[in-house]
Structure formats: structure tokens, C-alpha cells
Structure 1
């Protein structure tokens, strides 16, 4: 198995210790990306990645190699401490650069592990935000490890082991889970936008060139009957709304 680790912390203390503990339960190769070292310029909000295509991002030379490593991996690990009750600026800047995945999701066959630590509070909200972002990217299943260390160099080893072992088994199984109803809604929102009267060109090309426009969800992920029907109904409604 191949895992890529996106480290959103500017240092290697509690959050990174949690990652190192989790790695002990994962069998495979690891690619570590420490965002502090990548020196990614601030996203300038030009919208080129969304409107014209991600290849038009002015920082593509830095962002694309990271994205390629995520696409090549079997499992994605995102690690981040809580800074001011949110993700670090390092991670937020990277996620801002990948905003086009909200319109054009690509990670339907991937599993992810989110690792968040805090000295005080906010760890569950930060993990939830990263989880929601990954699900908008299309990620099939997200596991979360959170820990409030109280400012001390300590670990909840039992919880880290339990969650990371579940993550490892899931990645190795190759099984793809049925998406949540909310994920199906967003899939159809962006799909319907590709059918709208005046669609974003990059979106329309993505949905049709990748044969997503003709499916109720990503073709690799098999929906049960209820969710397949739900997807069809949602698309019918959204397509009419966006005409």
C-alpha cells in the first residue's frame, strides 16, 4: 500500500507523534509532505483553477506534484493541530489551492485518515472541517483521530492504534463504501451545473470527459437501490432548477 501524509503543522510535536504512532499500524510506503517546507504562496483568489481549469493556477508547479502524489496513493493522511480553533494557515492555504475539487471531485476510490491534536479545545470541529473537505473531494471513507493533550507531550495510544488499524484494514480491503446521502446531493449539484445553460467550461469538460455525467455517482462506487433512486430524483430536480 502507498500512503501520502500531508502535514499541516509548522513543527513536529504532538500531531506528528500521533502520525508516527499511526504509521506503526500501516503496512506500506509513505510519502511525507510537510507543507512548511513546500513554501506555497498564498492563494490569491483568482478563481482560475475553478473557471479556467486547475492547470491555470499561478502556483501549479508547487500544487500539482502534491495532488499527483495524493492521486497515486492508496490512502491519504492529513495531520493538523488546532490553531485559533481552526486548521493552521499552512493547511488552509493548501486547501484553498484545491478548491476546484469541490466542483470536480476525483478521489472516489481513496480512503483518508485525519489526525488532529490540540492543547485545549476545537479538535473535533477541526477534524470535521477536514472530513467535510475530503468528502467534497470525493474521498470514499474518512477516519478521524483527535486528541486534546493539554499542552503536554502525551498520546492516546489506544485510540490511535484502534482507528489507524481500522483505516489500514479498509485501505487494504479495496472495498468501496456506499456514499452518504449528503455526498450524493453534492455530486448531483455539480453534475447538474455541468448541464446548466451557461456552465463553467472546465466543469462541463470534466464531467463529460470523465464519463461522470452519465452516472448516478462515481462508476467505481456501487449504490444500493435506495441511493440510486435518490440520486436520480436529486439530479432531475437540480437540473430543472439550474436551467
Structure 2
């Protein structure tokens, strides 16, 4: 299986890269994995202009022509993703944040359902949990199933034996889980997956809103039109029933969020 490792550090051989190499080493002990490394710092990835075209009209209307599509092609070709960032001031690096902004449309129209991911961060002391939670949320919004969260403490001085042991335990646990879920992916592809209630609720929210705002968000409308779910799936009667109830509550709470009357 092919794993793409995207590294958001501005340093090529820093703590984040070394941690990613440890993930590769442990994964290869468990199975036949092929790793490819992509350093965002070495790509031509211009800063997002905030035009909103990718979300509203479609990614083909993005005015920036650079390596963004190349990166996404590699993500599509790989079976799994390892997303890596150092913690900079309680969050991801600027390089990774810019990539996240450049593919903002994926949060509306996810493209990687059925694929697995591990998120990995390195921190000098604090911010690891917050950064991992953010990376997990974003990666899941893209469609990935996040099966490993690995936060390692890499202070700017030699680590104590106790910290080394703690980091090793954290990494091994994350790798084991990632490996298990990657190996189960083949079974999932052979049949329809079972959808969790909240995942189906999220899908239906986007689908319903896309119909209501089709004039303003034509790309979303075209994406969701005629879909039962993001991928072939088993959606049970209970899931459908509970979703119907929750949607009524959610849309009542969102009743003031829709388009208002345009001023002449």
C-alpha cells in the first residue's frame, strides 16, 4: 500500500521529518508499505487570495495556477495519508495552513472518503493536543478517516529517557492503529460501508443547504445533486429516522442563516 507523507515544516530535516521517518520505519515492520514524502516548502504553492471561487463556483475557477493540483493528485493516488506539522504558536505551521486554505472547498465537497489518515505533530512543550485536534478535524472534513493521532514532545535540548519512552509509546500506539485500519480498508471497498448517524447528518445538512443556496453556491449543488452519500454506503432505517429528527432541530436553529432579500 502507498502512503503519502505531507510535511508542513519549513525545515527539511527537523523534528517533524524525523518523527515521520519513525512512523515509516514502524509501519514497514508491520506490512508492505511504500512511502512518498512531499515537503510543502519545496512546492510552488501561492498564498490563498480569499476569493471564495473554489468553494462557490468550483476549484477550476481558482485564479492560482501552481502545484496545488499536483499535491491533490498524489493524495488521490495514495491509500493513506500521514499529515505532519510542527506546532507553531499553538497551531499548525504557516505552510500547512496555507495548503489547508487552498483546498478549502474540500470541507464542502470532500474527495477522499474511503482513505485512512494519521496526523502527527511535534511540539517543544505545549499546543500539541490543540494542534492534533485541528488537524484531525480538517483531515476528516476532506473525507479521510483519521485512525491515528500522534503528538510528540521534541524540546530544543536532549530528551530524558522518560520522555523518549513516552514518545515511543505514543508513536507505537498510533502506528498500530493506523496499520490495522489500512489493512481493513480492502474489506470496506469490497462492499458498502455502514454510515454513522452524525456523518449522515453532516452529509444531509450540506445537501439540503446546497439546494437552498444553489444560486450562490452552484458547485455544491452540482456535487450533492442525486447523491445518497459521499460513497456507496449502507444507511439503516434508524440512521435515516434519527437524522430526519435532528435535521428539523438543526435547521430550526439555523433559520436565520439562509439568504435574505437582496437590496436594490
Residue 220 (structure 2) aligns with: 203
Tell me, yes or no, if structure 1 residue 148 matches structure 2 residue 159: no
- Distance in 2 between residues matched to 1:60 and 1:142, nearest whole Å: 32
Deviation for aligned residue 1:83: 0.3
Q: Could you say what secondary structure the match of 1:195 adopts?
A: helix
Alignment-derived partner of residue 123 in structure 2: 118
* Counterpart position of 2:239: 227
**TM-score by structure 2 length?**
0.81
Taking a change above 3 Å as real, the CA distance of residues 60 and 230 of structure 1, as seen in their structure-2 partners, is farther
Task: Give me the whole-angstrom Cα distance separating, in 2, the residues matched to 1:179 and 1:140.
Answer: 12
RMSD: 2.4
Q: Deviations over 1:45-84 (max 9, x none)?
A: 0111112210111224310111111111111110001001
Q: Give the structure 2 partner of residue 164 of structure 1.
A: 175
Deviation at 1:135, TM superposition (A): 1.6
**Do the aligned partners of residues 151 and 49 (structure 1) sit closer, same or farther apart at CA in structure 2, a change above 3 Å counting?**
same
Q: In 2, Cα distance between the equivalents of 1:189 and 1:169?
A: 31
Deviation at 1:234, TM superposition (A): 4.2
Alpha-carbon separation, structure 1, partners of 2:237 and 2:129:
33
Structure 2: distance between partners of 1:203 and 1:186: 14
| Superimposed CA distance per residue, residues 1-57 of structure 1 (whole angstroms, 9 cap, x where no aligned partner) | 111111011112222211111112333222211000013111010111112210111
Greater Rg by CA: 2
The question of whether the paired residues in 1 share the 8 Å contact of 2:91 and 2:127 is answered with yes
Q: Which has the higher contact order (CA 8 A, sep 6+)?
A: 1
Native 8 Å contact 2:113 2:231 kept in 1: no
Q: Which residue of 2 aligns with 1:193?
A: 209
The answer on 1:41 being equivalent to 2:46 is yes
Verify the 8 A CA contact 2:4 2:81 in the aligned structure 1. Answer: yes
Aligned to 1:218: 230
Contact 2:136 2:146 in 1 (8 A): no
- Who is 1:59 aligned against? 64
The count of aligned residue pairs is 238
2:44 and 2:66 in contact (8 A); partners too: no
The answer to which of 137-146 and 148-157 deviates more is 148-157
Could you list the runs of 5+ residues in structure 1 that have no partner in the other structure?
none
Cα distance in 2, alignment partners of residues 20 and 95 from structure 1: 23
Secondary structure of the residue that 1:25 maps to in structure 2? Answer: helix
Structure 2 gap segments, 5+ residues each: 260-264
230-239 or 40-49, which deviates more: 230-239
Whole-Å Cα distance in 2 between the matches of residues 107 and 236 of structure 1?
28
Provide the secondary structure at the position in 2 that maps to 1:135.
Answer: helix
- Tell me how far apart the structure 2 counterparts of residues 224 and 128 of structure 1 sit (CA, whole Å): 29
Equivalent in the alignment of 2:2: 2
SS for the counterpart of 2:234 is coil
The 3 A distance-change label for structure 1 pair 148 and 226 is farther
Moved over 4 A (4+): 175-182, 234-243
After TM superposition, give the deviation of residue 238 of structure 1 in Å. 6.2
Query: What SS class does the counterpart of residue 4 from structure 1 fall into?
Result: strand
1:116·1:146 contact (CA, 8 Å) conserved in 2?
yes
Q: CA deviation at 1:152?
A: 3.5
